[in-house]
Amino acid sequence: MTPTVETTVMAGPARRYVVLATVSAATMLYAMAITIANVVLPQMRGALSATPDQIAWVVTFNLVATAIVTPISGWLANRFGRRNVMLIGTFGFTVSSVLCGASGSLETVVLFRICQGAFGAPLVPISQAIILDTFPQRQHALATALWGVGVVTGPIIGPTVGGYIAEEYSWRWVFFMMVPFGVITLACIWAFIQRRGERPRPVLDWIGFLALAAALGAFQLMFDRGQRNSWFESPETILEATIGLLALYLFLVHIATARRPFFNPRLFLNHNYSLGLILAFLFGMLSFAPLVLFPPLLQDLRGFPDSTVGLLLATRGAGNMLSFLLVVRLAQWNPRLTLTLGFLCQVLSGWAISHFDINLTIFGIVWTSALQGIGIGLIWVPLTLVMFSTVRPDQLDEASAVFHMLRNFASSLFISICVAVVIRSTFINVAELSAVLTDFNKLLLFPWVTGGAGFESARELASANAEVQRQAAMIGYLNAFRLFTIVSIIPIPLIWLARMPKRDGA
């Protein structure tokens, strides 16, 4: 008995767009979950008594769970059918959201965020595969752009509505608010994604999957806990690095020698696809790091309320939506140039943010966030076109799963690196700035140096110490955005190595 597999290649135009709207809603649900949690990280940190690096686990472990489960999305789709996987994934995702909101400790929140990421992982690659399978190749740019518009609606709705809800009630309600969206998406998938066609049941390469999962999990733990454990001075970090390297070696050897490997190695012989994976990894590093860095920066250092932070984060989604109005024509005209413009937007945004000071303005946040959103939109569509233009239809599920696995893992990895940079830079700069606050520094006797601040009472000393902490933390965030800028530059020369496929006469 073979399972049914959905394909709507021969669907009429009306049905194509109904399917497009349905899978866009599923993807929007997942995107909303990532961005909505970022708004309430500072509030969760206080409520759950967590440190800055610990509260980042709410985001990073969600992403790494997504990265681990994403590679088997193709196998799940072929084994159980795209429709069934999307139904189960959406249902599990919605239930996990309820449990996240009901959690009473950091450990349980992280656990159910892992479940949320695992259930949500297949939604994005399967949605993308359905779109590429449903629309003819000449309409892939348009369909991908329209899908992108639906996707960026989540990052707009999530922070905006979530910020107000968190401010009026608590952080728990930002997870509860996703339940109605989940129920509506579940009903749409049930109604509009149909079973068609048949394929033989594939066999999952469990050795390859478990080796890859162990490698991703070990490396994520190493970068998450490395700063706290003094990196390789700790036996735990050494153990995690050893497990990660051994598991990665086992995975690479296994897929090169196994009869039915977890990933077909021939997929990586495709020049555009392999180059696209490198670009996707770098693109993933840039996708979510600012969304994690901005909320604590704005709330802890500038005192912005949750609702304001949500609106500021939503400007990134607005910029993303604006870019989709232009990207279809630009991507069809010259995908490489469009990709270059997208990464240049990230470079300019990161460079501008890295030159902010402690008195950063709302306008500065708005235009840099919007520019990041424009850059994301200009990258997404042409990257998809370049990567998948030469991939065979029967390889779409697997190729899409690898693409999203690398993108999500890169996101979680770079978030951990940026958080480590902030914490380490803050620690170093607190020591350096505090060195001048001493009785031996005669400059502190002059009011035009101290700005009228005194250093005699305990209250004045506490105020001076708080300002030192604040300035040191700001330097840490600026260093993280300098790293963001450097990473944004790396893909630009690689883009022009892509080979542009011939057009199909459209």
The pLDDT tens digits for 228-277 are 777 888 888 899 899 989 999 998 888 888 777 777 777 778 888 888 88
* CATH code of the domain in which 340 resides: 1.20.1250.20
CA distance 330 to 340: 11
Task: Tell me, yes or no, whether 154 and 229 share the same domain.
Answer: no
Alpha helical stretches, state H, 226-361: 235-257, 271-287, 289-296, 306-333, 335-353
Average pLDDT, the chain: 79
Rounded to the nearest 10 degrees, the angle between the axes of helix 396-434 and helix 289-296 is: 30
At which residue do the structure tokens 């005192």 appear? Answer: 303
Task: Tell me, yes or no, whether 314 and 391 share the same domain.
Answer: yes
Give percent above pLDDT 70 in the chain: 84
Q: Confirm whether 453 is domain-assigned.
A: no
Considering its fold, how many domains does the chain have in total? 2
Task: Tell me, yes or no, whether 200 and 212 share the same domain.
Answer: no
Give percent above pLDDT 90 in the chain: 11
The residue segments making up the domain with residue 237 are 205-261
Q: What would the pLDDT profile of 71-82 be if each residue is shown by its tens digit?
A: 787 778 877 888
Task: Tell me, yes or no, whether 277 and 419 share the same domain.
Answer: yes
CA distance 386 to 315: 28
Residue that finishes a domain, picked among 234, 261, 288: 261
pLDDT at 356 over 80: yes
Written as one letter, the residue type at 181 is F
CA distance 6 to 134: 10
**Residue 228 half-sphere exposure toward CB, CA atoms < 13 A:** 15
Task: Tell me, yes or no, whether 43 and 117 share the same domain.
Answer: yes
Task: Tell me, yes or no, whether 354 and 385 share the same domain.
Answer: yes
Give the model's pLDDT for residue 331.
Answer: 64
Q: Confirm whether 33 is domain-assigned.
A: yes
pTM (two decimals):
0.76
